[in-house]
Structure 1
Amino acid sequence: MARADWPERIRQVRRPRYGDFNGMTLAELHARQIELAAEQAAGLQKHFRKTDPNAVVDGAWPLRPWVEPSTEGAPA
């Protein structure tokens, strides 16, 4: 199926092209990857919340911050 045959709502979606990254420094590319991962997580969370209003998608990338596991309620 050719792109012209795709539904309008699909054709309107802005997706990065490889050429968009041409000429970027590594730091710029890394920053853009962080932005894109956050956008993707936000969209996925919006989709999940259609069926689960409390759904949460972690948008941290490339690494998620370490959170010390809770010891509350753990046997002594």
Structure 2
Amino acid sequence: MGTILSLDKLLVLLSESAGEDETVDYTGDILDVDFEALGYDSLAMFNTVNRIERDYGITVGDDIVASAKTPRVLLTEINERLREAS
């Protein structure tokens, strides 16, 4: 099986891209919580996806970033591309 991006890794990347000093420790099931409710704006999302594209050698696309409102949707899209690339 190829590389899979986990929720924990996504949250670390989001925190780093948003300029936070530490990763926020979320408790409970946040897979279906809107990124805005988690404190991440569109700039943090685009910065995170740009880093993922660079680090993992995939292309996600701005339209997907704009439409992916929750971690579950974004992880599904990213991991689909990672599987295709492996």
TM-score scaled by length of structure 1: 0.30
Judging by fraction of residues, say which structure has more helix. Answer: 2
Structure with the greater alpha carbon radius of gyration: 1
Give the structure, 1 or 2, with the largest relative contact order (CA under 8 Å, sep 6 or more).
Answer: 2
